Chain A
Amino acid sequence: MKLGYYPGCSMHGTAREFDESLQAIAKPLGLELTELDDWSCCGATSAHATNRLLGVALPARNLALAEQQGFKDVFAPCAACYSRLATARHEMQEDAKLDAKVKEILKRPFSNSVGVMNIVEVLRGLIPQIKEQAVQPLSELKVACYYGCLLLRPAEITGFDDAEDPSSMEDVTRATGATPVEWRMRTECCGGSFSLSRTGSVVRLGRAVINDARAAGANAIVVACPMCHSNLDFRQQAMGQREGATEMPILYLPQLVGLALGLSPQTLGLKRHFVSTQPVLELVAAGAAKGEVK
């Protein structure tokens, strides 16, 4: 599968291991990623929270670039970028006045023909390849699949899974041999862009997510968004876990897939986390020791 790759800003910084693990699993899964030339920031929360037109025009520039560069689909692994690109595409389709205004601002040919895909739907489409390439079934690992908000909502924009009762991340997880736990918080918000500007809210919301995953028996939480990762991993120390409670490792979905493919923790960027991923690696090794290695 060939896709135009829109990494987004955080993949080059705080979410570096999201990019690293995705690049590492791409080749074995037959995924060809070509980075969009000269892409710009989608504007994320700050643009749409202050100026609707800007919140559409900034992502639309990237959709127009993708179209000019001949891509049928653009793949945005960051949930916030995905949401902004998909929202711009949708709003321009629905609102002719907005469509005309944005096109006038872009000053480049654009027919809004490019599809937008997120990491979960891309990996869900590759489940047969994941099963085929898995050399290390993660049979000892129980994970809580955390969707958060922007991957699923609004449903008329995302549309790849049920907004209230999704199953795609669990399906990908099962393909790796790991077991998804049943829990309540998987579509709740982690506090998103308030990480710096209202840390207290992020700590409160993240703590509820982690406590629920732990109560459900998860060994790790799997995420598909740099903000979810940063809020649950980097901010976990501030959450003041109950005495005796172990830390909760937070994995990006392609890191989980990469472990099943037998890729090394370094290659997958598993050493870049604030919460140690060692307990996860030990469970992976325990599964392998049980003689389930192909």
Chain B
Amino acid sequence: MASPEQQETGHGLDQHAPAELKDEVAALTGANPARCYQCGKCSAGCPMAVETSLRPHDILRLINMDQREKLMENDSIWLCLTCETCAARCPNSCDPARVIDTLREMSLASGSTAAPKAISAFHQAFLNQIKSGGRLFEVGLIANYKFTGGALLADVMTAPGMFMRGKLALKPRRIKGVKDVRRIFAACEAAAKEQQ
């Protein structure tokens, strides 16, 4: 029978119990979410707080309450712009921006589909471009994104404007070290899989 103290912390005697989310996040980020005292400075300065159901200080609170699923299945973590305002203003060095980056990575690893389709399609299209040529080819990015994101016609009228202003390079430039870049991708993707 576990002591009242052990029951309270939930650790008990079972050493194989999954780590609490706050410990896992702390290990992955080097920041300590448990230091958050809910002052809300992060959310006051967050440019996306008016659009998200969870604001940065809510996210920190849910981490400390070990509400893994609530976080992974909410699109708020995907709406973070990584503008770093929260991290710059946090009086306790909780680094919400870094924490949210980590939650996104964990969410992807968990197979969650909470990311808005347009945003995950954009990230995928962006990374595909780098993998293919070593650099981002903007026309390729837009085409790739439009197909996978399903927003084929959005913005189509602005392409001639971009072209007229000489702002669209029409041919991708493949770098000599493209194999090098692909190897980096492969190694990082393998490392992410290993973490799961």
Chain A residues proximal to chain B, CB less than 8 Å: 9-10, 12-16, 38-41, 43-55, 57-58, 61, 94-95, 101, 105-107, 148-150, 152-155, 163-164, 187-189, 191-194, 196-199, 201, 205, 234, 271-274
Knowing A106-B184, A189-B47, say if A13 contacts B82 (CB, 8 Å).
Answer: no
> How close is A46's CB to chain B, nearest CB, in angstroms?
4
Interfacial chain A residues near B183, Cβ < 8 Å: 105, 107
B108 & A50 in contact (Cβ 8 Å cutoff): yes
A246 vs B101: C-alpha distance when bound (angstroms): 39
A154 & B87 in contact (Cβ 8 Å cutoff): yes
Knowing A192-B81, A192-B82, A274-B161, say if A198 contacts B127 (CB, 8 Å).
Answer: no
Q: How many A-B residue pairs have CB under 8 A?
A: 171
B88 & A50 in contact (Cβ 8 Å cutoff): no
A187 vs B119: C-alpha distance when bound (angstroms): 24
Top 8 A-B pairs, shortest CB-CB distance: A153-B84, A189-B83, A149-B83, A9-B136, A197-B122, A46-B126, A54-B188, A46-B123
Query: Is B13's beta carbon under 8 Å from chain A?
Result: no
Interface string of B60-90 (1 = CB under 8 A from A): 0000000000000000000101111101100
Interfacial chain A residues near B82, Cβ < 8 Å: 45, 48-49, 149, 192
A189 vs B48: C-alpha distance when bound (angstroms): 9
Name the prevailing secondary structure of the B interface residues: helix
> How close is B96's CB to chain A, nearest CB, in angstroms?
11
The 6 listed contacts between A and B (C-beta, < 8 Å) are A40-B177, A40-B180, A46-B126, A46-B127, A154-B87, A198-B119
Stretch of B1-9, B16-24, B32-40, B163-171 contacting A (4+ beta carbons < 8 Å): B163-171
A129 vs B104: C-alpha distance when bound (angstroms): 46
Interface string of B131-169 (1 = CB under 8 A from A): 000111111001001000100001100100110011111
> How close is B101's CB to chain A, nearest CB, in angstroms?
6
B189 & A51 in contact (Cβ 8 Å cutoff): yes
B84 & A149 in contact (Cβ 8 Å cutoff): yes
Interfacial chain A residues near B122, Cβ < 8 Å: 46, 193, 196-197
> How close is B6's CB to chain A, nearest CB, in angstroms?
31
| Residue in chain A with minimal CB distance to B84 | A153
Interfacial chain B residues near A193, Cβ < 8 Å: 81, 122
Interfacial chain B residues near A201, Cβ < 8 Å: 48, 51, 79
Which of B127, B137, B183 has the largest number of chain A CB atoms within 10 A?
B127
A9 vs B176: C-alpha distance when bound (angstroms): 15
Apart from A16-B167, A54-B188, A191-B81, list 17 A-B contacts with CB within 8 A.
A13-B167, A40-B177, A41-B181, A48-B101, A51-B105, A54-B127, A148-B83, A149-B82, A149-B84, A152-B88, A188-B47, A193-B81, A194-B119, A196-B155, A197-B121, A198-B119, A272-B167
Interfacial chain B residues near A196, Cβ < 8 Å: 118, 122, 142, 145, 155
Knowing A40-B177, A107-B183, say if A57 contacts B135 (CB, 8 Å).
Answer: no
B175 & A40 in contact (Cβ 8 Å cutoff): yes
> How close is A155's CB to chain B, nearest CB, in angstroms?
6
> How close is A171's CB to chain B, nearest CB, in angstroms?
21
Query: Is B91's beta carbon under 8 Å from chain A?
Result: no
Interfacial chain B residues near A198, Cβ < 8 Å: 79, 116, 118-119
Which of A43, A153, A197 has the largest number of chain B CB atoms within 10 A?
A197
A46 vs B127: C-alpha distance when bound (angstroms): 7
Query: Is B30's beta carbon under 8 Å from chain A?
Result: yes
B187 & A105 in contact (Cβ 8 Å cutoff): yes
Candidates B102, B135, B166; contact of A41 at CB < 8 Å:
B135
A14 & B167 in contact (Cβ 8 Å cutoff): yes
Interfacial chain B residues near A40, Cβ < 8 Å: 130, 134-135, 175, 177, 180-181
